Structure 1
Amino acid sequence: MGGLRRVAAPFVAPGPTGVAIRDSLKGLTGQDQRILCLVGGLLGSLASRDLKARCAAGLDRDSKQWARRKRVLTGQSSSRWAGSITKATHDQWALARRGQLACIQHLQVSIDMIASRLSLPVGAKGSKGSPGGYRSRQEWFAKSRRLHLLQDRLERERADCEAGRVRVVRGGRKLLRNRHNLQATRLTEAQWRVRWEAERWFLQADGESGKRYGNETIRVAPDGEVSIKLPAPLAGLANAPHGRYVLACRIGFRHRGQQWADRVQANRAVAYRIHFDVKRDRWYLTASWQIQPARMAPLEAVRSGGLIGVDTNADHLAAWRLDAHGNPVGEPRRFDYDLTGSAPHRDAQVRHALIRLLRWAKRHRLAIAVEDLDFQWEKTREKHGRRKRFRRLISSMPTAKLRSRLVSMAAELGIAVVAVDPAYTSRWGAQHWQRPLTTKTRKITRHDAAAVAIGRRALGRPIRRRTQPPPPHRSDAVGHRTVQAASGIPGREETRPRIPGPRTRSVGAGRGAKAGDQRAHNRSGHTAEHKSWHQDSLPLSP
């Protein structure tokens, strides 16, 4: 057991701190679409210049440099548009820095794994904790070359990190690479150009509490009227006072519409983003705002009445209900989803499976226990080698998206989510629970057993089952009990050692029969059986 890592304690996952809703802008006229394209293109070019200036500054940034950039943008748009652009630039630069640090960690893990496997003899077998050596000299030579390439790349990334140099592509690096491979993407150059320009547009504004309807730049009235503050170069195209342009359509949010209406009527901050979907040829408006996270219940209160253990897999969720003592109750449940197809289809499949799970938990008024999974360091090919099927399996599991959606959807229903350490849940669940729970009419899978292990860990109980009771005749005819020593342990068949102190209530310390003296017991062949026995007379008075 010395090779097992320490298991972290379970905790109640905090609820979401923000809300985002979206609806389509239906009924836009040709002039409306033209104005949106002009505003998005102008602000997008300003955002690109500002991002370039921010990346050029690197680590040498201060409030004066930020104020200088904002003054330049204010003269070309407005003060509020300039504030939104600079804030988006800072967020994008910070995201690029986090991605850079994650890339450095990923490269370091890959280099350590290759160096470890290269140090082993060719063909050496590995253990469960670490892989063995490479299979052939050819593979060993190829990996040694890859090691040098990764080391050179790591040096470049570290040099960029120390200099504060990041590489950001507005519009997405994937879409940029598609430009050089249009045949594989089945796009013409004109179609690619439309997507590229739409992704680089900038039409988003942060909210301001105390201002009319919570936003002065992109204003949405409670009746659904949408108006935009035009930048200074486009102020001549306004159709409303104060340089504003009012769209001909009306919008109404069906999801959380009442919450949004309450905020705008109270003039509380609401951020808006207008986006054009080229594939669907539709314009969308997204509203977002911050909320106070729900008050989390203590862990002891959450698991006082039991909970539901959930095991996440590539194509389904395996769930089982457990009582407060960690015993499975009822039958296991399975919630399937299909992760093939487009991204909206996969997202809908995950959402539908979570809805069924939450309804079941709501019916029993129980919390949900899930694994705090993160396969970021498990997807590397350097660790799993030629196991492409396994790497593809763990890469297809939507762990981050499923966990975030589960927490946000559970918070709306008042259901607590307990996150547990995923270490050894599948292995120990199959070892201790798969066979005992299997019957002639019920076949238990490893995933069902893992759900039981997850639930028991969330309840604060050990995963292994209770010690087996002794045989009926209390001997070793059917094998040694679980708590007994194994056959190879020295001293297993010896007598018990002498323990100082009283052994019973009636015999004092040092006055009873010794544990090692087998003749003191009434057994055949011992001298105690052949001695004469005499009973003292009982006293008649004290």
Structure 2
Amino acid sequence: MGGLREVAAPFVALGPSGVAVRTRLKHLTACDVEVLRQVGAHLGALASRDLKTRCRDGLGHDAGAWAVRKRELTPLSSARWAGAITKASHDQWALARRGARAHLQSLEAGVRTLRHRLSLPVGQKGSKGAPGGYRSRREWHAKARRLHVLETRLARERADWEAGTVHVVRGGKRLARTRHHLTAAGITETQWRERWQAARWFVQADGESGKRFGNETIRITPDGEVSVRLPAPLARLANAPRGRYVLSGRISFAHRGQEWADRVAANRAVAYRIHHDATRGRWYVTASWQKPVTRTIPLAAALAQGVIGVDMNADHLAAWRLNTHGNPVGDPRRFSYDLTGPADHRDAQIRHALTRLLHWATSHGVKAIAVEDLDFTAEKTREKHGGRKRFRHLVSGMPTGRLRARLTSMADQAGITVIAVDPAYTSKWGAQHWQKPLTTSTRRTTRHDAASIVIGRRAQGYPVRRRTAPPRTHQSDGRGHRTLQTGPDTPGREGPRPRIPGPRTRSVPPDTERTRATRTSNTVRDVRSAQEWVQDSLLLTE
């Protein structure tokens, strides 16, 4: 056990800090669509220009520079539109900065791994904690060339990091690259142009508490009327007082609609974003607001009704319900999902799987779900796993961050607590201690099912093994192995086995002769021999 790392203690995950709901803008007239297009294109051009200025300022940006940018944008839009644009540019720069930091750390990890493996003799096997040398001289030479490439990239990324330079593409780098592969994407240049322009439009505004219906720029009334404050150059398009344009369609939020209506009626801040899906030809509006973080309950209170351990895999969630003593109850459950296809499909698959999981937990009255605190940031590098492309693709395809965020938000609404545990050795120890004992002729227990038990027991504070080994003197056939799991406070759990009447040895019981005398033989030979040797009592009377 000396080579194993210390397992961290479980903790209760924090609840969500914000809410976002989306609905479709229906019954729009041609005039409504044209106004939204002009507003989005005009503000999108201003946002692109402001983002370029923000990226050029780099680390030298301060509150004074922010004020200058806002003053330059105000005559071309409005004070509130200028504030929304500058804040969005700053947030996008900060996001790109965090991405650059993560890429820099990935390059540093790759360079360290390559240098270590190149320093070892060819063919040397690695230990459990560190990789060994490369298998052949040819592979060693190829990795030496790759080391030079990564060192060049690392030097360039470090220079950009120190200078505060970030690389941002409004509309998305993936969509920008699709322009050069239209045939492979299955779209025409006109279709790509529509998507590109729609992705670069900007129609979003932050909320303001105390203002009418929580937002002065994009206003949505409780009955669903949507109105937009037009920028100054487009004020001629207004159809309502004070430079506003009211859309003809009405909206309603099916999800969290009552919560949104309460905030709007109380004039609390609500941010809105209007965007166009060029693929479907639809307009949507997204409402978002902040909420106080739900106060976490004590770990013991969350585990009062047992726990459901969940093991996340590439194509399903393996779950098993445990009682308060750490014993698995019932049969395991598997909630499958398909992570192929576009991002919207993958997100919907995760959401449906979590919905079924939460419904199952609610039906059994369980108030806690235990999951692994997974982070594959350092596990997806090409240099660490070499030619194991299938494994790298498998790890990269597991949406650990999105699943954890989704589960935390959905569980908070259902009144269920999410407990994060250390993922160390869950699959290995589950297969070692739980897979075989729980496999029966009617139930096939997989390695993932056994891992879910380990996750649940770790959240409850129990050891992974099915029982604590008794003293060596008690490990005998005289008393038998105590394999049943009991609570730590159960009286008599260490007591002797109950007294069973009869001999305690393998000798013949005292009533063996009576049993043999009254038993009829099952073979034909025994029956015939018995008939030949037993004398009939009726013959003696003649």
Q: How does 1:237-248 map to 2 (within 5 A)?
A: 237-248=237-248
1:7-66 Cα distance to aligned partner (Å, 9 max, x none): 211100111111111111111111111111111111011111111111111111221111
Name 2:453's counterpart in structure 1: 452
| Percent sequence identity over aligned pairs | 69
Q: Which residue of 2 aligns with 1:156?
A: 156
The residue number in structure 1 matching 2:96 is 96
Measure the CA separation in 2 of the matches of 1:254 and 1:359: 20
Q: CA deviation at 1:405?
A: 0.8
Is the 2:239–2:246 Cα contact (8 Å) retained in structure 1? yes
* Equivalent residues of 1:470, 1:481 under 8 A apart: no
State the alpha-carbon separation in 2 of the partners of residues 297 and 387 from structure 1. Answer: 42
Which whole-Å CA distance do the structure 2 matches of 1:481 and 1:269 have between them?
A: 61
Matching of residue 425 in structure 1 with residue 431 in structure 2 = no
Q: Quick one: distance in 1 between partners of 2:75 and 2:474?
A: 94
**1: CA distance, partners of 2:148 / 2:292:** 50
Per the alignment, residue 337 of structure 1 pairs with 337
Distance in 2 (alpha carbons) for counterparts of 1:42 and 1:89? 16
1:398 matched to which residue of 2?
399
- Within-5 A mapping of 1:258-407: 258-366=258-366, 367-407=368-408
CA distance in 2, matches of 1:385, 1:441: 40
- SS of 2:233's equivalent? helix
Q: Which residue of 2 aligns with 1:532?
A: none
- After TM superposition, give the deviation of residue 238 of structure 1 in Å: 0.8
Query: Matched residues in 2 for 1:475 and 1:240: separation?
Result: 90
Aligned twin of 1:78: 78
Aligned to 1:87: 87
SS at match of 1:42: helix
Q: Residues 57-76 of structure 1: matches in 2 within 5 Å?
A: 57-76=57-76
Q: How does 1:137-156 map to 2 (within 5 A)?
A: 137-156=137-156
CA contact (8 A) 1:123 1:135 kept: yes
CA contact (8 A) 2:213 2:221 kept: yes
Q: Does 1:201 align with 2:220?
A: no
Runs ≥4 residues deviating over 4 A: 468-482
Taking structure 1 as reference, are residues 252 and 478 closer, same or farther at Cα in structure 2, changes over 3 Å only? closer
1:375 maps to a residue whose letter is F
SS in 2 for 1:162: helix
* Paired residue type of 1:49: R
Shift of 1:346: 2.1
* TM-fit CA distance, 1:108: 0.6
Q: Which residue of 2 aligns with 1:509?
A: none
Which residue of the partner structure matches residue 225 of structure 1? 225
CA deviation after TM superposition for structure 1 residue 470, in Å: 7.1
Query: What is the CA deviation profile of residues 460-493 of structure 1, one whole-angstrom value per residue up to 9, with x for unaligned ones?
Result: 12212323457999669999999xxxxxxxxxxx
* Alpha carbons 2:230, 2:245 under 8 Å: kept: yes
State whether residues 471 and 478 of structure 1, in contact with CA within 8 Å, keep that contact through their aligned partners in structure 2: no
Change (3 A) 1:104 1:126: same
Distance in 1 separating the partners of 2:251 and 2:271: 15
Query: Does 1:17 pair with 2:17?
Result: yes
Q: Cα 1:163–1:473, aligned 2, differ >3 Å: closer, same or farther?
A: closer
Q: Is the 8 A contact 1:131 1:384 kept in 2?
A: no
Matched, 1:436 2:440: no
Mapped contact 1:25–1:284 kept (Cα < 8 A)? yes
> What are the ranges of 5 or more consecutive residues in structure 2 without an aligned counterpart?
484-542
Q: Measured at CA, do residues 322 and 480 of structure 1 come closer, stay the same or move farther in structure 2, by a change above 3 Å?
A: closer
Whether the aligned pair in 2 keeps the contact of 1:263 and 1:269 (CA below 8 Å) is: yes
Q: Residue in 2 aligned with 1:6?
A: 6
- SS of 1:58's equivalent in the other structure is helix
Query: Contact (CA 8 Å) 1:120, 1:133: kept in 2 or not?
Result: yes
* Matched letter for residue 34 of structure 2: R
Mapped contact 1:337–1:349 kept (Cα < 8 A): yes
Q: What is the CA-CA distance between 1:334 and the residue it aligns to?
A: 1.4
Match of 1:410 in 2: 411
TM-score, scaled relative to structure 1: 0.86
Decide whether aligned partners of structure 1 residues 278 and 470 sit closer, same or farther in structure 2, where only a CA change above 3 A counts: same
**Does the Cα contact within 8 Å between 2:475 and 2:481 map onto a contact in 1?**
no
